A = this chain, B = another copy of it.
């Protein structure tokens, strides 16, 4: 552990120093780095693909799963897509230095808030090389230095991407330590990062539940984290049947493995008799396994019994839990009790019920008449997102550039003193 701590202390000191320079750099310089990275991803195509090939060969030898190899592999057009994303981030508004809410106070001082970078951000992720570029770009845009620790399986690719970023930083005369890619295979580096309160201001872990839970148990550095998405669609008595069917279908089946996929479908008793047989036919046709309570089982065939565990399950698979409820209140209570406070939707044409659902469901994203799958940074207009937060403090829901900033109070006086 000592070596990992020493490594993080060294990288952390460099990152802190770099973050001060980055924080006061003009927008043109930060955007300049981004545009250079975008260009270099094209210019260094062959070299980057060779590095990725080395990772892939090692992965094949060590028997990595097909799913993991898929995420690790750069396809022929992946670098171009990454470059496009970086250029979009460069084109986004610059939040840093913006002063708002300037107001004169009784003492005569004028108090405002200035948007500032957080400082040093640590990102811990799996073997997905695109995160290296996305995360670096979002941190640079928001004026933060970052320390990136990707999955060991992508080491060669990440080191090669790190060289591209470093070259871009040098050409804009910014310290290479603005973005540091950790080029070691040691696992205890992750633990050292999570404890490095003197060097890292926030940790953003991007990965499976296992990684997040392990970090939650040991982290001292604050985290912006995403734990799980147990998302609901509630079909209200006042729903339009066609919308209810389209949304319940899309929210479950458009993709099974994403965090904003619906896992539990709640149906008001007054519409259940019309709605359930039709949605069941759709799910059956797509091979979605249904688990329900006894009232669901009365209305549709081939439904196994949902247990208490099903109401809490994040299946990430073609499985759905279904429950009939007697009221809007029962639906809201179910969601607040069993859900993960991530993303939940009501389908209804009733404005009063919409208002109550949006207000009383305690989740990061609450939707009326739209699929839960729409809850992400791009669809919400934030631009690129660094992740979706399950936390209530600082950043909740999809986290974009603004989520990587803080504020400070700036005060303009002309000699004001504190009176007794």
* Inter-chain contact A105/B380, CB cutoff 8 Å: yes
* Inter-chain contact A410/B109, CB cutoff 8 Å: no
Of the stretches A36-44, A57-65, A393-401, the one at the interface is A393-401
The prevalent SS among residues of A at the interface is mixed
Tally of this chain's copies: 2
* Inter-chain contact A374/B247, CB cutoff 8 Å: no
Q: Known: A114-B359, A368-B411. Contact between A250 and B418, CB under 8 A?
A: yes
Complex Cα–Cα for A370 and B412 (A): 7
Q: Is residue A408 within 8 Å, beta carbon to beta carbon, of the partner chain?
A: yes
* Inter-chain contact B409/A364, CB cutoff 8 Å: yes
Q: Chain A interface: which size bin?
A: 35 or more
* Inter-chain contact B414/A369, CB cutoff 8 Å: yes
Q: Is residue A202 within 8 Å, beta carbon to beta carbon, of the partner chain?
A: yes
Complex Cα–Cα for A359 and B369 (A): 44
Closest Cβ–Cβ distance, residue A258 to chain B (whole Å) = 9
Complex Cα–Cα for A217 and B365 (A): 33
Complex Cα–Cα for A360 and B114 (A): 11
Q: Is residue A97 within 8 Å, beta carbon to beta carbon, of the partner chain?
A: yes
Residues of A within 8 A of B (CB): 20, 23-24, 97, 103, 105, 107, 109, 111, 114, 116, 118-119, 197, 201-202, 216-217, 220, 222, 224, 240, 242-243, 246-247, 250, 254-255, 336, 354, 358-360, 362-371, 373-375, 379-381, 391-394, 396-398, 406-418, 420
Other 16 A-B pairs with CB < 8 A, given A116-B362, A240-B415, A366-B410: A23-B360, A23-B362, A97-B359, A107-B379, A222-B393, A254-B420, A354-B412, A365-B408, A366-B408, A368-B410, A370-B415, A374-B411, A374-B413, A374-B418, A396-B409, A397-B408
A–B pairs, 13, beta carbons within 8 Å: A20-B360, A103-B381, A107-B374, A201-B393, A247-B415, A247-B417, A255-B418, A364-B408, A365-B409, A366-B408, A367-B410, A373-B417, A396-B408
